[in-house]
Amino acid sequence: MVSEHYIRRAVFPGSFDPITLGHVDIINRALPLFDEIIIAIGVNTAKNYMGTLEERIAKIEAVFKGNLKVKVTSYKGLTAAFCKKENAQFILRGLRNTADFTYEQTIAQANEKVNGVDSVFLICSPEYSHISSSIVRDIARNDGDYSSLIP
């Protein structure tokens, strides 16, 4: 058995409101890199979500049912603090474009400098680069069909 210290554990944080095919793509492509990926749903009581926390957890668990390398949970507070609590050495992030990179770069550098948690970026597959949870929510609010964007 591998000692706890040598387990490569990544946290993939987000609201996952809802989880999209882009999220699933990043997770599936990251699975060979890590022993465990914790899909961590950040809780922000000031935010108005489309799905409840319980619904989002259930949906993600259904998508990754049977995959023992994927764990789904929620957390409050700083992502880096949650990583420390979970003994996760990495934060996994998906990038769709240069704007995502510019936004994520400063956060990643701060997390590494202040908290010692490295970020691993995966570029999303081209067929998913147009998908975001906010676009899905906007389509849903306007009674559009978003079924091709989510699992």
CATH number at residue 101: 3.40.50.620
Domain of 136, in residue numbers:
7-141
Q: What is the pTM of this model?
A: 0.92
What's residue 5's pLDDT?
A: 58
Q: Could you write out the three-class secondary structure of the chain?
A: CCCHHHCCEEEEEECCCCCCHHHHHHHHHHHHHCCEEEEEEECCCCCCCCCCHHHHHHHHHHHCCCCCCEEEEEECCCHHHHHHHCCCCEEEEEECCHHHHHHHHHHHHHHHHHHCCEEEEEECCHHHCCCCHHHHHHHHHCCCCCHHHCC
What's residue 3's pLDDT?
A: 54
The verdict on residue 1 lying in a domain is no
Q: Which amino acid is at 33?
A: L
The verdict on residue 26 lying in a domain is yes
| 5 is an active site residue | no
The verdict on residue 2 lying in a domain is no
What's residue 123's pLDDT?
A: 97
Mean pLDDT by 10 residues, the chain (151 residues): 74 97 98 98 87 96 98 96 96 96 95 93 96 95 96 96
The verdict on residue 24 lying in a domain is yes
The verdict on residue 128 lying in a domain is yes
What's residue 17's pLDDT?
A: 96
Work out the number of other CB atoms within 10 angstroms of the CB of residue 80. 21
| 47 is an active site residue | yes
Rounded CA-CA distance 69/56 in Å is 19
| 96 is an active site residue | yes
The verdict on residue 109 lying in a domain is yes
Annotated catalytic residue, options 47, 65, 113, 141: 47
**Domain count within the chain:** 1
The verdict on residue 151 lying in a domain is no
The verdict on residue 148 lying in a domain is no
Annotated catalytic residue, options 9, 56, 93, 96: 96
Annotated catalytic residue, options 9, 23, 56, 93: 23
CA 84 to chain centre: 17
| 15 is an active site residue | no
What's residue 4's pLDDT?
A: 55
